[in-house]
Amino acid sequence: MLSQNITGAKIVGDFIATTLGPRGMDKLLYDTDDADDGLGNYFEVTNNGAYLLKRLPFQSPGGRVIARVAAAQEERCGDGTTTTAIYASEILRAVEPLIEQGLHPTTIASGIKEAVTIATETIHAESRPVTLSDDELLTAVAQTTLQGKTAEPILDTLSQWSVEAVRTLAQEHESEVRVNTDLVQIESLRSGTITDTELVDGMVLKKSFAGNYEPTNLDNPNIAVVTQGFARAEAIRHRLSSDSHSSTQTVTYDLSDPDSVDAFADFEVEHVTELLEPLIAADVDVVLVGDRVEDELLPYFDAAEIAVVRNARTDRMQKVARATGATINTHLRDFDSTDTGKTARLERRRYPGIEQNALLFWGGAGEQVVSVLAHGSTWMSGWELERNIMNAIRSVSAAVESGHVVPGGGAIEITVARQLREDAPAVGGRESLVIEAVADALEGIPKTLARNAGMDLVNTLTTLRAAHWNSRKETGVLGQERVVGNVVEQGILEPATSKRYALEAAASVATTILRIDDVLPASS
Ligand code: ADP
Ligand code: MG
């Protein structure tokens, strides 16, 4: 069982290893589901380890566990997912011979634990400080995440933006920096090219106004946000229930009788007008609705010069509310003027060839939100671009939150590997063999970077080891140039926490796999 799980993990590791680094290859995912769900035959290109693993139906439990750990890394750091999966599968590969030699999984687990402790200390010792004002270092961190990705054509701009976005969102309390990356909004438009992508200092919503009142620019608009939709029936029901204080009253209109039709129409006008009253009273210019708004009701909004956004997605609605300082109400009737949100300017953009507009909320009165309006000609590049942008922003955040970066391009892995080999004998016993195995596993990263760049593996590794032996700890793989060299000078830097978490997560998942002696299907 154990060897099957290790094999499963190695297969997954080898599979996604080809995507690692600036010379990594993308994978094309396509939906084999023939079901008529409108998604059949859809294609998507990705280079994102966690996403790839999430979308692939790996059958082996070992492989599935690796996919899970990559997802955990994504959640925690936003980057380093392929690295985590490689660490985990390489650790298992490296300890496999020890298992065959009869080392007990418990001994291996304690050796791995010891190795992580040494590695964490080494990463800490090798990291260099970075602050929010360190333009060069932070831009380098963003660039490192974007190398070889879909976003590469706009790498420079995007890196600068990522730093700007993080600065805008950063909050400092007592020398601690916190960045709430939930307040980043990314919308992709299938229009223009990737170089048309722009950063918006505020919230962006990919939506058109529903009615005929569609202003292109509003200064200081008041904004209302409600989750429930409006229909005439609802308006009327509400009126009836407030008249009678019960919702059970029934009024029947005979619509074959012209008088009755008129009466119904009057009734409708009166009560829809009533529905709109709180909005008019609060001088609302735009109402965002998280559900349907009946077409027949739109003219009333037009007449009141209230622009309507309907069927807004919950997460978007919440962000608009946060950005503008609006309070979200369930029903329109609960709305009052204190619930209004504000923004300095609302701009509606149209794009050729696409139906949906973009609404840009500049200078909201609530929390600071930063958006990226990503352009691209296909959805598949749009989605990947969104993931790239998020990776860059989250990496820069991780760098400023932890205040430390380490050399990338496999350099830190070689440094740690060397330290592990140096410390292993002192630990002694069988654990020392495990610690050496972890050192081999970490070298999997520079090896993979070199392999993906088409470099000679043996040469690269010996050159790297020799440089580090001579204390040139900034030596790593320069993936773009396909040579070994100083990665720090080339700005290949990563957040220290990303490496630490990746190793901790990989070690813990490798240990878990080693302890599994049986796999039982569970029904959910
Ligand atoms: P992950 O999902 O682990 O982030 P990536 O495909 O983004 O995987 O690759 C990250 C690795 O690529 C890191 O080890 C990083 O240091 C390395 N890297 C990034 N840019 C370069 C470069 N120009 N040369 C060499 N290595 C690089
Ligand atoms: Mg990455």
Quote the CA–CA distance of 453 and 450 in Å, as a whole number.
Answer: 5
**From the CA of 272, how far away is ligand 2's center (Å)?**
53
Q: Is 147 in the pocket of ligand 1 (CB under 6 A)?
A: yes
The rounded Å distance from CA 501 to ligand 2 centre is: 14
At 381, give phi and psi (nearest 5°). -75, -30
Atom of ligand 1 nearest to the CA of 83: 3
Closest residue CA from atom 20 of ligand 1: 144
Closest C-alpha residue for ligand 1 atom 26? 409
Digitized pLDDT (tens) for each residue of the chain, 524 residues in all: 788 888 988 998 998 999 999 988 887 777 666 555 555 556 777 888 788 888 777 778 888 888 889 989 988 888 999 999 999 999 999 999 999 999 999 999 999 999 999 999 999 999 999 999 999 999 999 999 999 888 888 899 999 999 999 999 999 988 899 999 999 999 988 888 888 888 899 999 999 999 999 999 999 999 999 999 888 776 666 666 665 554 455 566 666 666 766 776 777 778 788 889 999 999 999 999 999 999 989 999 999 999 999 999 999 999 999 999 999 999 888 899 999 999 999 999 999 888 899 999 999 999 999 999 988 867 667 778 888 899 999 999 999 999 999 999 999 999 999 999 999 999 988 999 999 999 999 999 999 999 999 999 999 999 999 999 999 999 999 999 999 999 999 999 999 999 999 999 999 999 999 887 666 666 65
Ligand nearest to the CA of 148: 1
SS (H, E, C) 420-472: HHHHHHHHCHHHHHHHHHHHHHHCHHHHHHHHHCCCCHHHHHHHHHHHHHCCC
pTM of the model: 0.86
Q: Going by CA atoms, what residue is nearest to atom 19 of ligand 1? A: 144
The number of helix segments (H) and strand segments (E) in the chain equals: 17, 20
Rounded CA-CA distance 178/169 in Å is: 8
Return the closest-CA partner of residue 138 out of 127, 129, 149, 147.
129
**With a 6 A CB cut-off, is 408 part of the ligand 1 pocket?**
yes
Among protein residues, the one with the nearest Cα to ligand 1's atom 12 is 21
Rounded distance from Cα 239 to ligand 1 centre (Å): 62
Nearest CA to ligand 1 atom 4: 80
Distance CA 522, CA 23 (A): 40
Our answer on whether the CB atom of 405 is closer than 6 Å to any ligand 1 atom is: no
Q: Nearest Cα to 164, choosing from 397, 365, 363, 357? A: 397
Answer whether 135's CB lies under 8 Å from 163's CB.
Answer: yes
**Amino acid (one-letter) located at 365:** A
CA 58 to ligand 2 centroid distance, Å: 22
Q: Is 478 in the pocket of ligand 1 (CB under 6 A)?
A: yes
What is the spatial distance between Cα 181 and Cα 201, in angstroms, rounded to a whole number?
Answer: 14
Question: What single DSSP character describes residue 78?
Answer: S
Give the closest residue (by CA) to ligand 1 atom 14: 409
